């Protein structure tokens, strides 16, 4: 077992250089996480789960006392309709509704629990009356987290055939534990529209195929401060991933799978595997106990997670959007959330989108990751 050493500038530079290695330009379009998109994905936390006292300093540790605040801005010059799909829990339960917005308008959305297994999503929208109208929806939560997927549509949308993949939307969020005051913030995952004349752009089947929308990445990566009692920083650290897929709504039981390789600061690799359905919040140490600082043997590290083909529970989704062989390339993305407490002085939390490998997902025939919205 190596002796844990404090952070060094050399270790940080090496880790950053490995994760953010440059690569030549490719013909396929990668998601641009620092730019606007035609669709946005957000985590939803609040409502279900056990309430722990004192609250655990993790996103998943006290979801009953958590609220997610989301802001979305239409940065374009044209009035738009925002179409919302709220995907709750492991059962692919989807609730949809619309929110018209004017050019350059920002919408604030709140999501939190109201008891009895339900959460409420609340916002004010411009309905063309000149006055904001409050939209409130009860969401049946089947689990402790969900995903909000928002798409850009023409303003006078009435029949669901008015999606536009023009890149006008920008968003970010903060998750707040109201009991203890913990907070984690990050940006939305933006999906850029590619070809506004691509077949199927106007409907509410969203194809991440490098034609209608940019493709999911094949590899996700991040640096991390090792969780547990981290002697390198003289503090206690937590580390979680919020992961989601958008492929499989018609196919309950479908799963996304990741092969994970993580490294200490001497570049010693450890391999793991993780599978989930729809969305999940998972501690790094639940993916593999060796993420923990003492077992890792260093105060920091980095990981790669490679998306692999997943066997599906049934052929329903694959028959509709693929070749019916029950094996699909399931797109995955998400965020890393960390908290740190030093010398009993309380915890600070932060979050960020996972970094991306430079090669987008290699599609298998017609098996394009597709979300069939309402």
Rounded to two decimals, the pTM is 0.87
The length of the chain is: 374
DSSP string, 209-253: SSSSBPBPBSEEEEEEEPPEEETTTTEEEEEEEEEE--S-TTSTT
Average pLDDT over residues 42-60: 75
The end-to-end CA distance of the chain, in Å, is 53
Kindly report, residue by residue over 72-109, the tens digit of the pLDDT.
Answer: 999 999 998 899 999 986 677 888 988 888 899 999 99
Position 26 scores a pLDDT of: 38
Give the residues across from 349 on adjacent strands: 339
**Token pair of 282, please?**
């998972």
Q: Are 101 and 152 in contact (CB under 8 A)?
A: no
Compute the radius of gyration of the chain from its Cα atoms. Answer: 20
The 3-state DSSP class for residue 374 equals coil
Task: Give a yes or no: residue 195 inside a domain.
Answer: yes
Q: How far apart are CA 143 and CA 64, in angstroms?
A: 11
Position 198 scores a pLDDT of: 83
Q: In degrees, to the nearest 5, what angle opens at C-alpha 79 toward C-alphas 161 and 95? A: 50
What is the domain range of residue 269?
A: 9-372
Position 89 scores a pLDDT of: 67
Mean pLDDT of the chain: 82
Position 313 scores a pLDDT of: 53
Buried-state track 15-30, b at ≥16 Cβ within 10 A, e below 16: beeebeeeeeeeeeeb
Position 289 scores a pLDDT of: 97
Task: Give a yes or no: residue 48 inside a domain.
Answer: yes
Q: Given a cut of 50, is residue 142 above it in pLDDT?
A: yes
Backbone angles phi, psi at 64, to 5 degrees: -65, -25
Strand pairing category for 370-372 and 205-207? antiparallel
Kindly report, residue by residue over 186-212, the tens digit of the pLDDT.
Answer: 999 999 999 888 888 888 888 888 889
Average pLDDT over residues 25-53: 77
Position 94 scores a pLDDT of: 87
Average pLDDT over residues 51-73: 81
Position 171 scores a pLDDT of: 97
Q: How far apart are CA 337 and CA 350, in angstroms?
A: 6
Consecutive H or E run containing 316: helix 316-321
**Token pair of 352, please?**
């960020």
CA distances for 295 relative to 15, 55, 224, 229, 230, angstroms: 19, 26, 15, 11, 11
Where do we find the tokens 């013909």? 27
Of the segments 124-138, 145-159, 315-329, which one has the largest average pLDDT value? 145-159
Task: Give a yes or no: residue 55 inside a domain.
Answer: yes
Backbone angles phi, psi at 261, to 5 degrees: -125, 125
Q: Given a cut of 60, is residue 2 above it in pLDDT?
A: no
Position 251 scores a pLDDT of: 64
Average pLDDT over residues 223-230: 94
Domain count, the chain: 1
Q: How far apart are CA 262 and CA 291, in angstroms?
A: 8
Q: How far apart are CA 76 and CA 73, in angstroms?
A: 9
Average pLDDT over residues 121-137: 79
Q: Residue 54 — pLDDT band, cuts 50, 70, 90?
A: low
Position 310 scores a pLDDT of: 66
Residue 332: which of 263, 268, 274, 250 has the closest Cα?
Answer: 274
Q: Given a cut of 60, is residue 18 above it in pLDDT?
A: no
Position 144 scores a pLDDT of: 77
Q: Given a cut of 90, is residue 286 above it in pLDDT?
A: yes
Task: Give a yes or no: residue 99 inside a domain.
Answer: yes
In this structure, the dihedral spanned by the alpha carbons of residues 275, 279, 281 and 283, taken in order and rounded to 10 degrees, is 20
Q: Residue 156 — pLDDT band, cuts 50, 70, 90?
A: confident
Q: How far apart are CA 66 and CA 218, in angstroms?
A: 32
Residue 224: which of 177, 172, 287 has the closest Cα?
Answer: 287
Average pLDDT over residues 263-291: 93
Average pLDDT over residues 215-221: 92
CA 301 to chain centre: 21
Neighbouring residues of 333: CB distance < 8 A, sequence distance ≥ 6: 31, 41, 189, 216, 217, 220, 243, 244, 353, 354
Task: Give a yes or no: residue 1 inside a domain.
Answer: no
Q: Are 93 and 147 in contact (CB under 8 A)?
A: no
Task: Give a yes or no: residue 326 inside a domain.
Answer: yes
Greatest extent of the chain over all pairs of C-alpha atoms, in Å: 67
Q: Given a cut of 50, is residue 14 above it in pLDDT?
A: no
Task: Give a yes or no: residue 3 inside a domain.
Answer: no
Q: Given a cut of 50, is residue 117 above it in pLDDT?
A: yes
């Amino acid at each position: 077992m190596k002796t844990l050493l404090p952070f060094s500038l050399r270790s940080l530079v090496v880790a950053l250089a490995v994760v953010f290695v440059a690569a030549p330009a490719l013909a396929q379009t990668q998601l641009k996480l620092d730019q606007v998109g035609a669709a946005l994905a957000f985590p939803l936390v609040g409502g279900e789960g056990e309430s722990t006292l004192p609250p655990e300093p993790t996103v998943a540790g006290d979801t009953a006392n958590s609220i997610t605040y989301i802001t979305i801005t239409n940065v374009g010059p044209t009035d738009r309709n925002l179409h919302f799909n709220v995907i709750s829990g492991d059962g692919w339960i989807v609730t949809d509704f619309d929110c018209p917005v004017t050019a350059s308008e920002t919408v604030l959305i709140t999501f939190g629990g109201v008891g009895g297994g339900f959460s409420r999503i609340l916002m004010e929208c411009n309905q063309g009356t000149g006055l904001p109208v409050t939209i409130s929806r009860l969401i049946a939560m089947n689990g402790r987290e969900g995903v909000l997927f928002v798409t850009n549509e023409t303003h006078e949308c009435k029949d669901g055939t008015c999606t536009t993949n023009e890149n006008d939307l920008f968003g970010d969020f903060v998750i707040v534990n109201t009991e203890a005051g913990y907070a984690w913030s990050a940006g939305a995952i933006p999906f850029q529209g590619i070809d506004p004349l691509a077949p199927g752009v106007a409907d509410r089947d969203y194809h991440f195929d490098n034609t209608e929308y940019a493709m999911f990445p094949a590899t996700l990566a991040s640096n991390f401060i090792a969780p547990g009692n981290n002697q390198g920083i003289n503090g206690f650290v937590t580390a979680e991933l919020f992961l989601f897929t958008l492929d499989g709504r018609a196919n309950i039981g479908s799963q996304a799978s990741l092969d994970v390789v993580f490294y200490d600061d001497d570049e010693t690799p450890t391999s793991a595997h993780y599978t989930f359905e729809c969305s999940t919040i998972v501690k790094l140490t639940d993916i593999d106990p060796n993420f923990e600082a003492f077992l890792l043997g260093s105060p920091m590290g980095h990981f790669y997670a490679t998306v692999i083909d997943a066997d599906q529970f049934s052929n329903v989704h694959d028959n509709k959007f693929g070749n019916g062989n029950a094996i699909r390339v399931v797109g995955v993305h998400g965020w890393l959330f960390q908290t740190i407490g030093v010398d009993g002085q309380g915890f600070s939390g932060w979050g960020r989108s996972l970094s991306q490998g430079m090669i987008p997902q290699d599609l298998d025939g017609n098996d394009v990751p597709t979300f069939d919205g309402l």
